[in-house]
Structure 1
């Protein structure tokens, strides 16, 4: 990757990461509302919530964020390559 290409890819990557994080948060929130009686995911410091519920929420959140991040990064890299004909790696 050339220095010019790297200069263009960095801001694109940052912007897509931010948007991906927002999307992942929204997806996680919708999933949690559907599988839980509570509309808000438990705070790990809330001792009134069970360990199982807190850890399940954390595992699901990590899964969703990881999947969305990989999908967004991959789509951004493919889009970048389609426009510049250079791999962003």
Structure 2
């Protein structure tokens, strides 16, 4: 599920960046021609989207496991048993 969430998040980020800045390529930290504001905005948007997509994929997977087994999967930080 991690690979799927990464792929979905990457696609979502590309589309979001295109909508925000009307550019196909977002800046990265080593892009000399971009300012701090653009670089930090891109990093913040990308991080937020990856977290949201990962949470949605994890939650969907957990609900599917619960439906098929009747048991909610345990999490590393403690979940309901």
Instruction: Tell me the matched-pair count.
Output: 74
Give the number of the structure with larger relative contact order, counting CA–CA contacts within 8 Å between residues 6 or more apart: 1
Moved over 6 A (4+): none
Deviations 1:12-66 (A, max 9, x none): xxxx111011000000100001111321010210111010000000000000000
1:33 lines up with 2:18 in the alignment: yes
**TM-score, normalised relative to structure 1:** 0.80
Aligned to 2:6: 21
Higher helix proportion (structure 1 or 2): 1
**TM-score, normalised relative to structure 2:** 0.87
Q: CA RMSD in A?
A: 0.8
Partner Cα distance (1:84, 1:37) in 2: 46
- Unpaired runs of 5+ residues, structure 2, are 75-81
- Unpaired runs of 5+ residues, structure 1, are 1-15
Shift in Å, 1:78? 0.5
1:44 lines up with 2:29 in the alignment: yes
